[in-house]
């Protein structure tokens, strides 16, 4: 097993390099960039991630703006007419665009290997500090969403496997398929319209994880206030995951129920409940439990982007969205690097979880 783990860790290196290289190349050909955004802001034509037009030398962070306009220039940047060419060159040096792409990529990889992600282009703060500030919100959503979806989908999936082909299985399958087909962000909008003052009831808050008077509440009040705020976003996120986990659990149990050892256990006189939970459960839950780390990581890195945006939750999803729109490349690439690395580590942990649950699995033998 040690050799298998070592091979997997070594394979992470070219995988990470490939992901970063492809993303870096795509960014080089993508229209727009941080310099173009600053020029647009100076001329009052920039629209940020929130849709608000900013300009007139607004606060661009890092001291990059508020430079007086000079004479005409032959700058290669559209919208740079009327700005001092020296100012454009200063921006290129500040953002590192005065160096060729291959040098910038190599420097980025070397820095990232030391977990040095630099500073945000448009915020006077390090990228790691930004991620640390946003991470608790995303972890909160991911943890509650995973727990909610598993607590519903596992009992439901077991029940559907036992009642396979019967009316209960048919109508619950229809509900599950509809739930899987509805995008999470669309369901989130529906919840807002129904329960957050959209057109019907004002039951839940529209944004944030806590109320303004959070610090004044008692411990019990803080817990209730927190649960009150996360109810809608967690429900919206759990919809798709709940459907997937339910079908996965059902199919896993069906595969085990049809095996010979189950028939043998029944012939020995064991009750149906004893067969199901004494013999089938451990084997059937192997794939479900082993997939828990991946489901958890995927939930708060991928599934929360639109949900955080809709509910104005200041987490990693909203940070990534704003960084992409604003061309804040240090934040974009840092998020990509961390998410990719965590994804690879979680895949390894999932394999190790398989072995922990069922020692009969030997990945080294399978690879040989």
Question: Would you kindly state where each structural domain of the chain is located, as residue ranges?
Answer: 32-126, 128-367
Cα 285 to Cα 108, 110, 221, 288: the distances in Å are 42, 42, 37, 5
What is the four-CA torsion angle of 235, 240, 246, 247, rounded to 10 degrees?
170
Per the CB < 8 A criterion, the answer to whether 117 and 28 are in contact is: no
What pLDDT does 298 receive? 64
What pLDDT does 246 receive? 87
Return per-residue pLDDT of the chain as tens, 368 residues.
778 788 888 989 999 999 999 988 888 777 777 777 777 766 666 555 544 434 333 344 443 433 333 333 344 554 455 556 776 777 777 677 778 888 889 988 999 988 888 888 878 788 888 888 888 888 888 788 888 888 888 888 888 888 888 899 899 988 888 888 888 788 888 888 888 876 778 888 877 778 888 788 888 888 888 888 888 888 888 877 778 788 888 888 888 888 888 888 888 877 777 787 777 877 777 777 766 666 666 665 555 677 887 888 888 878 888 888 888 888 889 988 988 888 888 778 777 777 776 666 666 655 55
What pLDDT does 18 receive? 92
Measured distance CA(20)–CA(9) in Å, rounded:
17
Task: Please give the structure tokens belonging to residue 107.
Answer: 């420097």
Measured distance CA(340)–CA(320) in Å, rounded:
14
Nearest to 187 by CA among 226, 234, 244, 227: 234
What pLDDT does 222 receive? 85
Per the CB < 8 A criterion, the answer to whether 250 and 187 are in contact is: no
Query: Is this model's pTM higher than 0.85 or not?
Result: no
Beta strands in the chain (DSSP E): 46-47, 53-54
What pLDDT does 66 receive? 35
What pLDDT does 293 receive? 67
Q: Give the distance, in angstroms, between the CA of residue 79 and the centroid of all CA atoms in the same chain.
A: 35
Burial class (CB within 10 angstroms; exposed 0-12, middle 13-18, buried 19+) of 317: buried
Measured distance CA(214)–CA(208) in Å, rounded:
11
**C-beta neighbour count of 7 within 10 angstroms:** 13
What pLDDT does 266 receive? 80
> Which residues, at least 6 apart from 64, have a Cβ–Cβ distance to it below 8 Å?
38, 91, 94, 121, 122
What pLDDT does 364 receive? 60
Three-state secondary structure along 10-33?
A: HHHHHHHHHHHHHHHHHHHHCCCC
Beta-bridge mates of residue 54:
46
Measured distance CA(275)–CA(265) in Å, rounded:
6
Measured distance CA(99)–CA(63) in Å, rounded:
21
Burial class (CB within 10 angstroms; exposed 0-12, middle 13-18, buried 19+) of 361: middle
Measured distance CA(333)–CA(20) in Å, rounded:
8
Pick the CATH number of 128-367 from 1.10.357.10, 3.40.50.2300, 3.40.50.720, 1.10.3720.10: 1.10.3720.10
Per the CB < 8 A criterion, the answer to whether 257 and 157 are in contact is: no
Phi then psi for residue 119, to 5 deg, are -110, 155
Q: Give the distance, in angstroms, between the CA of residue 361 and the centroid of all CA atoms in the same chain.
A: 30
**Is residue 150 classed as helix, strand or coil in its secondary structure?**
helix
Task: Please give the structure tokens belonging to residue 275.
Answer: 């067969």
């Amino acid at each position: 097993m040690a050799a298998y783990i070592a091979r997997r860790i070594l394979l992470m290196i070219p995988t990470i390099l490939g992901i970063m290289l492809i993303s870096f190349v795509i960014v080089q050909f993508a229209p727009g960039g941080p310099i173009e955004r600053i020029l647009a802001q100076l001329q009052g034509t920039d629209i940020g991630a929130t849709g608000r037009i900013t300009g007139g030398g607004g606060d661009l962070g890092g001291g990059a703006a508020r430079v007086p306009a000079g004479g005409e220039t032959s700058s290669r940047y559209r919208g740079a007419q009327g700005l001092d060419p020296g100012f454009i060159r200063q921006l290129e040096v500040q953002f590192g665009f005065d160096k060729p792409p291959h040098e910038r990529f190599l420097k980025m990889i070397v820095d990232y290997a030391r977990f040095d992600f630099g500073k945000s282009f448009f915020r006077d703060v390090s990228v790691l500090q930004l991620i640390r500030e946003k991470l608790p919100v995303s972890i909160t959503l991911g943890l509650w969403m995973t727990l909610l979806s598993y607590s519903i989908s596992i009992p439901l999936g077991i029940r559907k496997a036992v009642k396979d082909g019967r009316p209960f299985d048919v109508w619950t399958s229809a509900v599950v398929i509809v739930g899987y087909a509805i995008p999470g962000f669309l369901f989130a909008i529906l919840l807002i319209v129904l329960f957050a003052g959209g057109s019907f009831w004002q039951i839940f808050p529209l944004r944030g994880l806590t109320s303004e008077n959070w610090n004044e509440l008692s411990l019990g009040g803080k817990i209730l206030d927190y649960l009150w705020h996360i109810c809608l976003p967690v429900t919206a996120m759990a919809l798709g995951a709940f459907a997937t986990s339910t079908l996965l659990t059902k199919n896993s149990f069906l595969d085990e129920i049809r095996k010979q050892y189950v028939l043998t256990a029944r012939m020995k006189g064991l009750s149906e409940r004893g067969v199901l939970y004494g013999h089938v459960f451990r084997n059937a839950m192997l794939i479900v439990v082993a997939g828990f780390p991946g489901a958890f990581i995927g939930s708060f890195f991928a599934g929360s982007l639109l949900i955080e945006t809709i509910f104005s939750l200041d987490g990693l999803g909203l940070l990534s969205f704003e960084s992409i729109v604003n061309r804040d490349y240090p934040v974009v690439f840092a998020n990509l690097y961390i998410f990719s690395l965590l994804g690879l580590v979680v895949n390894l942990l999932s394999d190790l979880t398989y072995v922990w649950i069922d020692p009969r699995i030997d990945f080294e033998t399978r690879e040989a």
